[in-house]
Every structure is written in C-alpha cells, then in structure tokens.
Structure 1
Amino acid sequence: MEEHIFNIEGLTHQYADGTFAIKDLSILIQQGKKIALLGNNGAGKSTLFLHLNGLLQPTSGTIRFKGKKMKYDRKALLSLRKQVGIVFQDPDSQLFSANVQQDISFGPMNLGWDRNVVHEKVQWAMDQTEVTEMKDKPTHFLSLGQKKRVAIAGVLAMEPDVWLLDEPTAGLDPYFSRQIMALLDSIHHPDKTIILSTHDVNLAYQWADEVVVMNDGKVIYQGDPVSVFHDEDILMKAHLEKPWVFEMFQALLQSRIPGEKELVPRTKEELLQKIETEKIY
C-alpha cells in the first residue's frame, strides 16, 4: 500500500482582501511521486505550496503530513520545514545572506548539523547547481537565473523529504533548465517526493509521474501525464496547450489506426524512435 505524504481535506484559504485562493480542495499526494502542478495564473498553485510548507494556515479544512494533522506552533513548524523544502518562484523572497555560500549554509546550520557536515553538504549542493565559482559573490549582484540556482542549492543542502518548487526553470536558459531537471531526477527516489508548479506543459509531460491541474482554487484533474491532454474540457478550463511531442504523435497517427495499447511517446527521443521503428509517417 502506497503511503500518502499529504492528505488534504476541504482546504479553503481566504486572503485578507476577501479573495478565495483555494476553495474546498481535497487531494491525496503519494510519497515518492514526481508531480507537476499545472494551471493558469490565479489558479491557486502558489497558495497551495505555502500551505504545504506551513507558511499559510487554512481558513478551513485540514492538512495531514505523514498521517499527522499539521500544527502551527514553533516546534511543529520547525520539524515540518526540515522535511518539506520550498523554492519560491521569486528567488529574492528566499535569498538574504551576504554572499552565496552563507545563504546556502543558513538552512543546514539551523538543522543543528556538525560544521563539517554542513560544509560537505553545502559544497555538494554548490557543485550540483554549478554555483561554486560564485560562492563569495553577494547575492544581490546575481542574475535572476543565478539566484534561482542558489535558492535551489539552499534547499538541496538540507536534503528534505519533500521538494516544493514554484516555476523552478523560469528565468533559466535551456542549459541550466536541463541541468536543474536532471538534478531533480538524480535526487528522486521512493522516499523523496517532488512537486513542481510550471506553465511549461512540455516539461510536465516529459518529466512527471503524475499531473495535478488546478483551476479557480480547485483540483480539476489528478492522474497520469498522458490522459489529461486527451481531455479538451480540462485543457480549455486551465488554459493549457498540448505538448508538442503529444501533438506530433497524434498527427502522425491520423494515417493509421493505433494499437489497443498504443504507447504514447513523452520525449523527443521516444518519438523519434517510434517513427523509426514503426514507420509512422
């Protein structure tokens, strides 16, 4: 039986101005999944992330983390944030130390680790995100892409059980976008859960085990990354386009009848291999 890392029931959040960002949302999130959270601007994705990290408290409803109802006292939140790391869409919301190395060290130092362990984890995180050469550089002198990589390194060094990443590749060039996604693949295993929000349907389609689509503060789809792109109603509600690999494969299939269990390619490499081996052109 698969363990649910989060069990959310009837979650509603109303901001001080009266806006309901999340409305009676219920969802189960399984441990060890790579989940892409999709939806148009204002769908409630970022607000949901802030609840999962305990930065916001529900107006109503409950969140259970690892089977226990989430609490909001200092001790409970400290324990939660050791296990659930968040990377904000705007890295300026996350970076505040004098230089890169100090900023990445902040989280691990607060975990109470030995200084040698902290140094080792920070050095590893900087190497993985390719920011080692700028370790002494003031964070306010960094470009947007560099800031995002430092923010990711800060969470990476803490080795949380759950990663929440809000638009992690926004502002990164194609090289570093690929590097960050490869990094997430490398750290993922059955005990690590990674949830990222993105507007990039191609990224979500290729990378995710599961897709969650939000619209108007509610979840309107949770399931595999292929079926959702067959559902025109969901795509229209959430203002989503189809991934180019998916569209290309559909176009190629128009000339023949697909097999009963046709395996739909999800990457460029899988599509090219299918074209070559099955001669679907």
Structure 2
Amino acid sequence: MEEHIFNIEGLTHQFADGTFAIKNLSLTVQQGKKIALLGNNGAGKSTLFLHLNGLLQPTSGTIRYKGKKIKYDRKALLSLRKQVGIVFQDPDSQLFSANVQQDISFGPMNLGWERNVVHEKVQWAMAQTEVTELKDRPTHFLSLGQKKRVAIAGVLAMEPDVWLLDEPTSGLDPYFSRQIMSLLDSIHHPDKTIILSTHDVNLAYQWADEVVVMNDGKVIYQGDPVSVFHDEDVLMRAHLEKPWVFEMFQALLKSRIPSEKDLVPRTKEELLQKMERERIY
C-alpha cells in the first residue's frame, strides 16, 4: 500500500485583503512521486507550497504530513521543515548570509549535525550544483541563475524527505536547467518526494510521474502526465499548451490508423526512436 506523504482536506487560505488564494482544496500526495504542479499565474501554486512547509497557516481545512495533522508551534514547525525543504521562485527571498558557503551551511548547522558532517554535506551540495567556485562570493553579487543554484544547494545539503521547488528552472540557461533536472532525478528514490511548480509543460510532460493542475485556487486535475494533455477543458481553464513532443506525435499519427500499441512518447529521444522503428514520417 502506497503511503500518503500529504493529505490535504478542505484547505482554504484568505489573505488580509480578503483575497482567496486557495479555495476548499483537497489533495493527496503519495510518497516517492515526482509531481509537476501546473497552472496559470494566480492559480495558488506558490501559496500551496507555503502551506506544505508551514510558512502559512490555513484559514480553514487541515493538512496532514505522514498521517499527522500539522501543528504550528515552534517545535513542530522546526521538525516539519527538517523534513520538507522549499526552494522559492525568487532566490532573494531565501539567501541572506554573507557568502555562498555560509548560506548553504545555515540549514545543516541548524539541524544540529557535527561540524565535519555539515562541511561534508555543504561541499557535496556545492559540487552537485556547480557553485563551488562561488563559495566565497557575496550572495548579492551573484546572477539570478547563480542565486537559484545556491538556493537549491542550501536545501540539497539538508537532505529533506520532501522537496518543494517553485519554478526551479526559471532564469536558468538550458545547460543549468538540464543540470538541475538531472540532479533532481539523481536524488529521487522511493523515500524522496519531489513536487515542483512550473510553467514549462515540456519539462512537466517529460519529467513527472504525476501532474496536478490548479486553477483559481482549486485542483482541477490530478493524474498521469499524458491524459491531461488530451483534456481540452483542463488545458483551456489553466491556460496550458500541449508539449511539442505530444503534439508532434499526434500529428504524425494522422498519417495512419492508431493501434493499441501506440504508447505516447514523452521525450525527444523516444519520439525519434518510434519514428525510426515504425517509419512514421
């Protein structure tokens, strides 16, 4: 039986100005999944992340983490944030130490690890995100892409059970976007759950085990990353386009009668292999 890492029931969040960012949202998240959270601007994706990490409290509704209702006292929140790491869309919201190495060290040091363990984890995280050469540089002198990688390294060094990443590849060039996604694949295993929000449908389609689509503070789809792009109503409501691999394959299928063996390719390599194998061109 698959364990639910999060159980969210009737979650509503109203800001002080009266705006509802999340409206009676219910969602279950299975442990070990790679989940892409899609939706238009203002759908409530970032607000949902802030609730999962305990940075915001619900106006109403409940959130359970590993079966236990989230509490908001200092001890409970410290325990939650050891296990649920968050990388903000804007890295300036996350970086505050004098230099890169100090910033990445902050989280592990607050976990109470021995100094040598902290040093080892920080060096590893810097190497994985290719920021070692920046270790002594003041964080405010970094480019946006460098700041994003340092913010990711800071969470990576803490080794949380759950990763929440808000637009992790925005502001990164194609090389570092691929590098970050490869890193997420390398740390993922059945005990690690990764949820990332993105506007990049191609990334979500290729990478995710499951897609969650939000619109107007509600979940309007949860399921596999292929079926969602057959649902024109969901795509229209969430202002989503179809991934180019998906569209290309659909166009190529028009040249022949589809068969039950037609598994939809999700990467460029899978599409090219299928075209070569079946002579679809």
Separation of aligned partners in 1, 2:97 and 2:124? 19
TM-score by length of 2: 1.00
Q: CA deviation at 1:178?
A: 0.2
Q: CA deviation at 1:280?
A: 1.3
Give 2:269's aligned residue: 269
Separation of aligned partners in 1, 2:279 and 2:230? 23
Separation of aligned partners in 2, 1:23 and 1:158? 32
Give 1:40's aligned residue: 40
Q: Which secondary structure does the structure 2 equivalent of 1:123 belong to?
A: helix
Separation of aligned partners in 2, 1:123 and 1:117? 10
Q: Which secondary structure does the structure 2 equivalent of 1:261 belong to?
A: coil
The reply on whether 1:76 has 2:76 as its aligned counterpart is yes
Q: CA deviation at 1:262?
A: 1.7
Q: CA deviation at 1:257?
A: 1.3
Separation of aligned partners in 2, 1:194 and 1:74? 25
- CA-to-aligned-CA distance 1:7-65 (integer Å, 9 cap, x gap): 00000000001000000000100000000000000000000000000000000000000
- CA-to-aligned-CA distance 1:169-211 (integer Å, 9 cap, x gap): 0000000000000000000000000000000000000000000
- CA-to-aligned-CA distance 1:60-110 (integer Å, 9 cap, x gap): 000000000000000000000000000000000000000000000000000
Separation of aligned partners in 2, 1:204 and 1:191? 21
- CA-to-aligned-CA distance 1:208-233 (integer Å, 9 cap, x gap): 00000000000000000000000000
Separation of aligned partners in 2, 1:31 and 1:42? 27
Q: Which secondary structure does the structure 2 equivalent of 1:23 belong to?
A: strand
Give 1:191's aligned residue: 191
- CA-to-aligned-CA distance 1:221-255 (integer Å, 9 cap, x gap): 00000000000000000000000000000000001
Q: CA deviation at 1:141?
A: 0.1
Separation of aligned partners in 2, 1:260 and 1:236? 28
Q: Which runs of 5+ in 2 are unaligned?
A: none
Q: Which secondary structure does the structure 2 equivalent of 1:38 belong to?
A: strand
Separation of aligned partners in 2, 1:28 and 1:278? 39
Separation of aligned partners in 2, 1:216 and 1:271? 34
Separation of aligned partners in 1, 2:30 and 2:87? 20
Runs of 4+ in 1 over 6 A off after TM superposition: none
Q: Which secondary structure does the structure 1 equivalent of 2:263 belong to?
A: coil
Q: Which secondary structure does the structure 2 equivalent of 1:191 belong to?
A: coil
- CA-to-aligned-CA distance 1:116-171 (integer Å, 9 cap, x gap): 00000000000000000010000000000000000000000000000000000000
Matches within 5 A, 1:124-139: 124-139=124-139
Q: Which secondary structure does the structure 2 equivalent of 1:260 belong to?
A: coil
Separation of aligned partners in 2, 1:257 and 1:16? 56
Q: Which secondary structure does the structure 1 equivalent of 2:42 belong to?
A: coil
Q: Which secondary structure does the structure 2 equivalent of 1:107 belong to?
A: helix
Separation of aligned partners in 1, 2:225 and 2:279? 25
Separation of aligned partners in 1, 2:178 and 2:185? 11
Separation of aligned partners in 2, 1:115 and 1:247? 52
Q: What is the root-mean-square deviation in Å for CA atoms of aligned residues?
A: 0.4
Q: Which secondary structure does the structure 2 equivalent of 1:95 belong to?
A: coil
TM-score by length of 1: 1.00
Q: Which secondary structure does the structure 1 equivalent of 2:16 belong to?
A: coil
Separation of aligned partners in 2, 1:4 and 1:191? 11
Q: CA deviation at 1:259?
A: 1.1
Q: Which secondary structure does the structure 2 equivalent of 1:235 belong to?
A: helix
Q: Which secondary structure does the structure 1 equivalent of 2:49 belong to?
A: helix
Q: Which secondary structure does the structure 2 equivalent of 1:48 belong to?
A: helix
How many residues align structurally? 281
Separation of aligned partners in 2, 1:210 and 1:257? 28
Q: Which runs of 5+ in 1 are unaligned?
A: none
Q: Which secondary structure does the structure 1 equivalent of 2:189 belong to?
A: coil
User: Bigger shift: 193-202 or 254-263?
Assistant: 254-263
Q: CA deviation at 1:261?
A: 4.0
Separation of aligned partners in 2, 1:126 and 1:52? 26
Give 2:58's aligned residue: 58
Matches within 5 A, 1:244-259: 244-259=244-259
Separation of aligned partners in 1, 2:258 and 2:121? 49
The reply on whether 1:201 has 2:194 as its aligned counterpart is no
Q: CA deviation at 1:112?
A: 0.1
